[in-house]
Chains A and B, each alone.
Chain A
């Protein structure tokens, strides 16, 4: 499996990622589809209480950014919420390429698990992931079942409405 790490987006990285994704998508596609995300990222680089900020999911081996995540930190850093995953144009042919299908699955599994693992290790009380679509909700339901089927050091998963919450057992 491809290994990833999660880190805050920086102004320097934003410039590089935009250049990479512009090449992948093409100039017209970048302008229509992607530019708005980079405009948003440019003004959301610093984590601010109750406001979203951008993080990047980076391939450990290649250093390539596979996705940009929209994340909110709240309760004075005790709550971390993931709202959206913007996957690189590299993955947009997932419905036509079996190799990309495997890569997409690994990308999303890494995004969810790293949000949880990094949150726990940084000392938050709760990590929440939003299921915006039916596909996301199906994945979060699977994640809830998988999480609760093993020993997770006292942390449990609960899907309530469109939010999956990972928190210490009451």
Chain B
């Protein structure tokens, strides 16, 4: 696998992701944190 091939995938994927809305990107970034917070609550309440 060449570096150029990998780099082409990275650039194309980034271009595609730029079409995501602000809300979708915010959800993408924050969902793992929200999930972790929910898990922590369960552990505290258990």
Chain A residues within CB distance 8 Å of chain B: 1, 32-34, 36-37, 84-87, 91-92, 94-96, 101-102, 104-106, 108-110, 112-113, 116-117, 120-121, 132-133, 135-136, 138-139, 142-143, 146-147, 150-153, 155
Chain B proximity of A145: nearest CB distance (Å): 9
A104 touches B25 (CB 8 A): yes
B9 touches A143 (CB 8 A): yes
Q: How many residues of B contact A (CB 8 A)?
A: 32
A132 touches B31 (CB 8 A): yes
B10 touches A1 (CB 8 A): yes
Roughly how many angstroms separate A107 CA and B17 CA in the complex, as a whole number? 11
- Known interface pairs A109-B14, A151-B5; A133-B26 also in contact (CB < 8 Å): no
Interface of A: prevailing SS: helix
By beta carbon, the residue of chain B nearest A141 is B16
Chain B residues within CB distance 8 Å of chain A: 1-2, 5-6, 8-14, 16-18, 20, 22-33, 35-37, 39-40
Roughly how many angstroms separate A27 CA and B2 CA in the complex, as a whole number? 44
- Known interface pairs A133-B31, A150-B5; A33-B37 also in contact (CB < 8 Å): yes
Roughly how many angstroms separate A138 CA and B12 CA in the complex, as a whole number? 14
List, in ascending order, chain A residues with CB within 8 A of B30's CB.
92
